């Protein structure tokens, strides 16, 4: 070992202390920078979560809300969710088809603790968020197709507005059996829009049944039936009105209810010319709902039976821009599990655009 090195190691003069301090300064600085960096990463994560939540929240505002008001709401929601600094709404664009895209950012000058040693007092932390929102149902039209059966029944559309808990009646279709006695049974069906306590008749279908000796020469639209005794029946249906048009822009939840008034389940006597009478099947369900897993499978959507134990989202069950079909089997047995079992049929048409529903919103950044 060189002599100078041996002397340095044996030295007790105290000259080593200043050198040690010089050597420790970079180590302390590195440790301090690491702590500030960890703090910045944690701050950035909380800011990102807050900005994402704030970006999603402004998509549920009224469609008439101005960009400036959305900016205010964005900042309020950002701070309420634990964000630091300032959030900025960079863009909010709604396309002609109703699809929306939102971009937002946030910045915060985070004070440092140890980096101030080298005169770095703050570190700029920035985050960005992007949201897309697909068009959603804002209007639904229900138009009667064909309704039959021996039981009177009523289908009602219920809707719950954003921020409310009570569902309100929006539309109903009422069927009254004509009790003529034909095997299938037809009658009069009326569709109403409902606004509070006001009901407005918007479509009516009147079906008239007669007995005939032959089906020869009848119009092609005539419904023909033959009972077990060979008796022939001809039914004609006349429609007036365009159907029920329902505005659902302010609705957060929709469901359909099929109600079959039957005060004596399993013992409902049938009357009709030439018939001795019959009985409804025992155990008939009197109330069916699209949001009830136990009864929703009585609903057919575009001829497809709803799977068992399913809650139907009416917002997606009504197609946008095209006409689909729905039908209920009103409580009897499903013989073949096909739409042929159903006897309450109607058409549905949807109009979609920008909507407040949060479920249509997806974070993309």
pLDDT attached to residue 356:
73
Question: What angle separates helix 67-80 from helix 16-57, to the nearest 10 degrees?
Answer: 130
Residue 363 domain-assigned (yes or no): no
pLDDT-based confidence at residue 6 (cuts at 50, 70, 90): low
In this prediction, residue 123 carries a pLDDT of 81
Based on the structure, what is the number of domains in the chain? 2
335/229 same-domain check: yes
Q: What residue numbers bound the domain in which 21 lies?
A: 17-133
Number of C-alpha atoms within 13 angstroms, CB side, residue 284? 22
**So what's the pLDDT on residue 273?**
41
How confident is the model over 256-299, as pLDDT tens digits?
Answer: 999 987 645 444 434 444 343 333 444 455 889 999 999 999 99
User: Same domain, yes or no, for 249 and 334?
Assistant: yes
Q: Report residue 133's pLDDT band, with 50, 70 and 90 as the boundaries.
A: confident
Closest CA to 88 of 54, 62, 63, 61: 54
For residue 12, being part of any structural domain is answered with: no
Same domain, 161 and 236: yes
Phi–psi pair at 212, nearest 5 degrees: -135, 160
- 73 and 25, same structural domain? yes
Among 90, 123, 122, which residue's Cα sits nearest to residue 106? Answer: 90
Instruction: Please tell me whether residues 96 and 185 are part of one structural domain.
Output: no
Same domain, 70 and 116: yes
Instruction: Answer with the one of 133, 167, 186 that is the final residue of a domain.
Output: 133
Give the C-alpha separation, 327 to 321, whole Å: 20
Confidence of residue 25 (pLDDT cuts 50, 70, 90): low
pLDDT > 80? residue 321: yes
Average pLDDT, the chain: 83
User: Looking at the domain assignment, is residue 177 inside a domain?
Assistant: yes
Beta-sheet strands, E only, within the chain: 86-94, 100-111, 122-133, 136-147, 153-161, 168-177, 187-195, 198-212, 223-226, 232-241, 244-247, 251-259, 287-289, 299-301, 304-305, 323-328, 344-353, 361-363
In degrees and rounded to multiples of 5, residue 291 shows phi and psi of -100, 15
Last residue of a domain, one of 90, 117, 133: 133
- Token pair 């004509």 is at which residue? 178
Round to whole Å and give the CA distance between 262 and 269: 11
Provide the Cα torsion 296, 298, 301, 302; round to 10°: 170
3-state SS class at 84: coil
Same domain, 30 and 115: yes
Domain end among 133, 149, 171: 133
Q: List CB contacts of 298: < 8 A, sequence separation 6 or more.
A: 258, 285, 288, 306, 328, 329, 330, 331, 334
Q: What is the dihedral of CA 232, 281, 143, 200, to 10 degrees?
A: 110
Residues 260 and 166 in one domain: yes
Mean pLDDT in residue range 199-222: 95
Whether 216 is in a domain gets the answer yes
b/e per residue 348-360 (b: at least 16 CB within 10 A): bbbbbbbbbbeeb
In a domain? residue 364: no
What is the mean predicted confidence (pLDDT) over 303-315? Answer: 93
What's the token pair of residue 51?
């900005």
Max mean pLDDT among 51-65, 74-88, 103-117, 259-273 falls in 74-88
Residues 117 and 141 reside in one and the same domain: no
Range picked from 307-311, 351-355, 359-363 for highest mean pLDDT: 307-311
| Residue 119, pLDDT score | 75
User: Band of the pLDDT at 214, cuts 50, 70, 90?
Assistant: very high
Q: For residues 127 and 28, state if they share a domain.
A: yes
Contacts for 244 with CB less than 8 Å, ≥ 6 apart: 141, 142, 143, 171, 173, 191, 192, 193, 202, 203
Q: From CA 356, how far away is CA 362, in angstroms rounded?
A: 13
In this structure, are 128 and 158 located in the same domain?
A: no
Residue 365 lies in a domain: no
Q: What is the residue whose two structure tokens read 């001795």? A: 276
* Residues 231, 342 share a domain: yes
End-to-end CA, the chain: 62
Query: Mean pLDDT across the stretch 329-347?
Result: 81
H-only helix segments in the chain: 3-10, 16-57, 67-80, 314-317
Separation of alpha carbons 146 and 37, rounded Å: 70
Is 180 contained in some domain? yes
From CA 184, how far away is CA 266, in angstroms rounded?
18
Is the residue at 1 inside a domain?
Answer: no
């Amino acid at each position: 070992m060189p002599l100078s090195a041996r002397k340095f190691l044996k030295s007790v003069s105290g000259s080593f202390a200043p050198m040690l301090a010089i050597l420790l300064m970079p180590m302390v600085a590195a440790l301090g920078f690491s702590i500030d960096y960890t703090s910045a990463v944690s701050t950035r994560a909380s800011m990102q979560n807050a900005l994402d939540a704030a970006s999603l929240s402004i998509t549920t505002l009224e469609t008439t809300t101005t960009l400036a008001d959305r900016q205010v709401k964005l900042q309020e929601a950002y701070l309420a969710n634990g964000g630091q600094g300032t959030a900025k709404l960079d863009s909010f664009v709604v396309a002609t088809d109703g699809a929306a895209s939102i971009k937002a950012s946030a910045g915060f000058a985070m004070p440092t603790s140890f980096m101030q040693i080298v005169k770095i007092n703050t570190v700029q932390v920035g985050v960005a968020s992007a949201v897309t929102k697909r068009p959603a149902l804002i209007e639904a039209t229900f138009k009667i197709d064909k309704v039959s059966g021996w039981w009177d029944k009523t289908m009602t559309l219920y809707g719950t507005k954003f921020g409310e808990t009570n569902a309100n009646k929006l539309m109903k279709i009422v069927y009254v059996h004509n009790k003529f006695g034909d095997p299938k049974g037809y009658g009069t069906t009326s569709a109403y829009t409902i606004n509070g306590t006001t009901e407005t008749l918007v479509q009516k279908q009147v079906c008239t049944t007669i007995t005939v000796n032959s089906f020869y020469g009848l119009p092609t639209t005539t419904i023909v039936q033959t009972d077990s005794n060979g008796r022939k029946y001809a039914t004609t249906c006349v429609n007036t009105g365009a159907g029920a048009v329902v505005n659902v822009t302010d609705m957060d939840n929709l469901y359909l209810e099929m109600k079959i008034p039957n005060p004596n389940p399993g013992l409902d006597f049938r009357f009709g010319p030439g018939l001795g009478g019959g009985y409804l099947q025992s155990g008939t369900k009197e109330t069916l709902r699209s949001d009830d897993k136990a009864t929703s499978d009585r609903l057919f959507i575009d001829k497809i039976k709803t799977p068992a134990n399913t809650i139907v989202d009416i917002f997606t069950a009504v197609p946008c821009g095209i006409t689909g079909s729905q039908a209920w089997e009103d409580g009897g047995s499903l013989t073949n599990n096909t739409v042929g079992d159903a006897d309450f049929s109607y058409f549905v048409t949807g109009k979609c655009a920008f909507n407040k529903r949060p479920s249509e919103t997806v974070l993309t950044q």
